[in-house]
Amino acid sequence: MPGDTSREVKAAVFAHPYAPLGGSYDDPVVGAMKETLLKQGYVVGTFNFRGAGDSEGKTSWTGRPETEDYISVAGFMMYYAHHLSSVRRSSADGAQIGDDARHPMPLLLAGYSYGSLVLARLPSITKIVERFHAAAMGTAAAEIMLRARTLAKQTMKTFDLHAPGNATSRGRMLEPNDAATGSTVNSKASSVIMGGEETDSSQRRHSPDSRRSVDAVRELPHRLKAHIRQSSDTNDKHHSRRRSQNTTTPPGTVDSTLATPSVTAHYALISPVILPFSNLISPPGAPSLTMGVKKAGTADKNAGALFPQQPTLVIFGTRDTFTSTKRFLAWAEKQTKLSPSFEWEQVEGAGHFWRESGVMQALQARVAKFAQVLDQK
């Protein structure tokens, strides 16, 4: 993004496979996808669902708590990237933090295996934005928004060490390891500390489920990577449009400096699992790409309905034993007829875990191509 401070920072969220079968954010496929997106200039957030790895709680039987975890992380990444963009613009042309960018922020929501099932039951990005915009102080959503702003400011302090005015780093691209990868960043940079709470204890509203979603967000600095190019040309000034003065914030919600970001969502599903196996790993009412799960709730009836509405990539292997290739091809072809922005690809010889010779490279190349096209829209 050299010289163009009017464009929003690109963000991505990637969900991992089923925790009881060993899935976590350390999964090799998740790691490979993370690195691929980093190279495309995305800020990438990976996380553990409750019960995965060292996370508290346990995997649910319905998938609904995991959906809340995903929404929480998506909201965090949305506001984190939005504030990074705001700080970059204000540094470049004096715009105020919270001003709109000229372009909506690209947000890629992705999942591998079970992670794609959770992705399939997410509400629309509009509903997610509305949930955070209306968040009352003391709620988990408000805590997530405030935490995103704090981390964005601390991240930009780190970036300032490599600003164009620094002769040793003029034109340097921040590498993935420059961002927060632990409780603090490299000792040569200013610390990024994510302990504690953003709101006073007297204002917090406690709920075990919502707190676990906040815990998922707290783990993000251990996984967040940044791949943002710093401009060496400080004379290329851009002026952002200001948010309408008529925009109001509901009483008791987070202060107005946390302006609602403009977001365009895209989706990527890697080796998604369809019936009957999806019923075995998360029965009943679990998200299903076939939308045929009996006894599913209202939200489940719309699972996967977002994919024909927004640019979506689905990629799977011909040797995936966790699904039926024939049924999956029928589903993918149906989605293609519903929307020209729906893309799918079947990788010859690839199994569910992408360990066969050459298949991981094919997967990375296809995801990179999809991300590049999104950046041009």
Q: What is the pLDDT of residues 299-330, one digit of tens each?
A: 445 555 677 788 999 999 999 988 878 888 88
pTM value?
0.74
Whether residue 171 has pLDDT greater than 70: no
Q: Where are the domains of the chain?
A: 10-375
Measuring CA to CA, which residue among 345, 316, 268, 352 is closest to residue 33?
Answer: 268
Whether residue 200 has pLDDT greater than 80: no
Whether residue 49 has pLDDT greater than 80: yes
Using an 8 Å Cβ cutoff, are 215 and 38 in contact? no
Distances (CA, A) of 23 to 66, 142, 213, 227: 13, 29, 18, 26
Task: Give the sheet arrangement for strand 263-270, strand by strand.
Answer: 42-46, 10-15, 105-112, 263-270, 312-317, 342-347
Q: What is the pLDDT of residues 241-283, one digit of tens each?
A: 333 333 444 555 665 556 788 899 999 999 998 754 454 444 3
- Average pLDDT for 118-144: 90
- Average pLDDT for 4-32: 88
Which superfamily does 10-375 belong to? Alpha/Beta hydrolase fold, catalytic domain (3.40.50.1820)
Measuring CA to CA, which residue among 318, 327, 241, 237 is closest to residue 290?
Answer: 327
In percent, the amount of the chain with pLDDT more than 70 equals 59
- Average pLDDT for 40-66: 90
- List all residues 6 or more positions away from 354 whose beta carbon is below 8 Å from its beta carbon: 28, 29, 32, 271, 317, 360, 363
- Return the higher-pLDDT residue of 138 and 183: 138
- The enclosing H or E element of 108 equals strand 105-112
- List all residues 6 or more positions away from 99 whose beta carbon is below 8 Å from its beta carbon: 86, 89, 90, 240, 241, 242, 243, 259
